[in-house]
Structure 1
């Protein structure tokens, strides 16, 4: 699956990013749930209708998701494979995989970041919570007859993000050589939802799949006759997850803007585990990805 591409993100001279590891939920799950016992799956049409020739890979999207866009823009490879993919080749581990699982919950931030730090991670990006009250499903469930954004949920997201940002600031102070960067998704996505036409979209209050009001996972399927004809007009693919175009609109500018924040003048290669690894055996002496996945997804 590895395909080295020319990234557009400008890094400081002498700095390379040899690998990206993704942890999280369905936003960055590139197919791990395909091989887990869960109803939260997306390995069937119309999911993936615009992904590498229409392949439903297990991504909760019509196409690529943030983890794919990040490795592509950094020039590492075209997409980030799922760690639990039975077809995964050992060489892929050297340039990164996704350990994320759709439907996973929130874990204690400090404990999980400390685990990553202890095994060598030195460059960590942590994204904020989105404006949850403006997700199509939440507008349907809590937005009243007019399906307005549920402000109580948005306020809860904003409070969480404030505490998250403060926690990361403290974590950076406590850990030597660490760059843990807070990535604000809340405000860019909220602006995209409120002003879709400014970004080249037309619909932001519902998803493309089905009616777009509540469908996700199993309810988003080819039996639903209401799926939109032109996904490029929509901010959301289903009632929870943005489209590939929306992800591109959000994450590529953020990546360009934030990339230098991981170094702040430090010209060394990114992190202790980012040294050039000649073989999987050399890295496996220090950390085994399956153990990472089990620890991060108990």
Structure 2
């Protein structure tokens, strides 16, 4: 997305990198792997704390007034929730004892709205909150819940669609309550589902496995030279590992999202 906006090709992580003043002025990522809206998944409080610290550093570079202007004009991308449903609900034993899936989705949507309100209180005015992908068609979920044929799991996909529908309605209410039309819902379900269902349409060969290792379960750090081989050409794969799309798949997703959703928030 940053590349599409002409800012830079890579948004650096706020933690663990040597950031320059220009990095801070043009955008950083506060994202943390595995974070979700559910506090049992991983709290978003740290991201908010880092954002507050970032604003102080920004003010130290350009002054308080200019820093507030940069924050107000910046685009905030919020992407969470997949780990909540895939891991914290369907794999962990606690939440299913407390909620049925409909009630759990309501809980997640409320948590997402609370997070957006906190971002707004900290000065954010352009917020794009992404819906969930077709979780049941992600390679790892096929392996865990798709049977011997590794089919898409309909229960996880229904949960994702339910979350997306309720989140979209909640965002519309937030727009009215905060009087801010530049808080918007962004749907990623349909485009990714189409890429998975008809990979040849997009120039892919494989959509049911990741490029890394077996492609069935390896994720993140498990994809490395010591533990897993990789496919010869990741541009032929929709997924890099068993959970995350490849760079080329993300390029296609951004090209799809930009005119439909993002331009309206700028």
Per-residue deviation, 1:206: 0.2
Per-residue deviation, 1:219: 2.3
For structure 2, the residue ranges without an aligned partner over 5 or more in a row are 39-110
- Contact kept in structure 1, 2:213 and 2:229, CA below 8 Å: yes
> Deviation string for 1:51-110 (max 9, x for gaps)?
xxxxxxxxxxxxxxxxxxx11111112211111134111332111110000111225112
> Deviation string for 1:232-256 (max 9, x for gaps)?
1100000000000000111122113
Change (3 A) 1:182 1:225: closer
> Deviation string for 1:28-72 (max 9, x for gaps)?
xxxxxxxxxxxxxxxxxxxxxxxxxxxxxxxxxxxxxxxxxx111
> Deviation string for 1:210-247 (max 9, x for gaps)?
01011112322213454211111100000000000000
- Contact kept in structure 1, 2:191 and 2:256, CA below 8 Å: no
> Deviation string for 1:103-160 (max 9, x for gaps)?
1122511221111111221111011011100000000010001000001100011111
Q: Which residue of structure 2 aligns with residue 198 of structure 1?
A: 201
Match of 1:95 among 22, 26, 45: 26
Change (3 A) 1:202 1:173: same
Match of 1:172 among 160, 175, 180: 175
Q: Which residue of structure 2 aligns with residue 35 of structure 1?
A: none
Distance in 2 between residues matched to 1:141 and 1:104, nearest whole Å: 21
Q: Which residue of structure 2 aligns with residue 74 of structure 1?
A: 5
Q: Does 1:150 align with 2:153?
A: yes
Match of 2:189 among 186, 189, 193: 186
Distance in 2 between residues matched to 1:86 and 1:74, nearest whole Å: 22
Aligned counterparts, 1:239-254, within 5 A: 239-254=242-257
Q: Does 1:214 align with 2:231?
A: no
Distance in 2 between residues matched to 1:218 and 1:120, nearest whole Å: 35
Q: Which has the higher contact order (CA 8 A, sep 6+)?
A: 1
For structure 1, the residue ranges without an aligned partner over 5 or more in a row are 1-69, 264-298
Q: Does 1:112 align with 2:112?
A: no
> Deviation string for 1:172-212 (max 9, x for gaps)?
01112341111111111001000000000010000000010
Deviates more, 1:99-108 or 1:251-260: 251-260
Distance in 1 between residues matched to 2:114 and 2:143, nearest whole Å: 35
- Contact kept in structure 1, 2:222 and 2:228, CA below 8 Å: no
Distance in 1 between residues matched to 2:255 and 2:25, nearest whole Å: 23
Q: TM (normalized to structure 2)?
A: 0.70
- Contact kept in structure 1, 2:128 and 2:262, CA below 8 Å: no
Secondary structure at the aligned position of 2:235 is classed as: helix
Change (3 A) 1:94 1:218: closer
Distance in 2 between residues matched to 1:206 and 1:122, nearest whole Å: 38
> Deviation string for 1:261-294 (max 9, x for gaps)?
225xxxxxxxxxxxxxxxxxxxxxxxxxxxxxxx
RMSD: 1.4
Q: Which residue of structure 1 aligns with residue 99 of structure 2?
A: none
More helix by percentage: 2
- Contact kept in structure 1, 2:143 and 2:216, CA below 8 Å: yes
